[in-house]
Amino acid sequence: MIWPWALFAAGVLSVVMGIWYWLDRPPCVRQRVVVALKSQPPSSLEGVFWAYRGPWIVLRDVRQLDSDAMGNARVSSVDGDAVIHRSNVEFIQAQPLVR
């Protein structure tokens, strides 16, 4: 008669995993963000924080923000999605939600 206990344990485990997923989720998913990269010269990406998979961050609708030696900003469009490893991210700035 271990079968009912196995179903109960599987149900409890699925509830705990669901709660853990929502608590572990970054608060800015599906929002427009600016991701500052650890690079020299400094550069950053602006886009929609679409997903995260382990240490990887996925941005959609991405634009690259650079500055030249004089401090002038340059914006260039990026084709496709940008996949960034968290070790290359200095910080993420989420733009405020307009409600």
Q: List the domain boundaries for the chain.
A: 27-94
Helices (H) and strands (E) in the chain, counts: 1, 6
Class for the domain spanning 27-94: mainly beta
Contact 31, 94 (CB under 8 A): yes
pLDDT, one tens digit for every residue, the chain (99 residues): 567 777 788 888 887 776 666 566 667 788 899 999 998 777 899 999 998 888 899 999 999 988 777 778 788 888 989 999 999 999 999 977 766
Q: Which pLDDT tens digit goes with each residue over 45-56?
A: 999 999 888 889
Length of the chain: 99
Structure tokens given for 21 = 């997923």
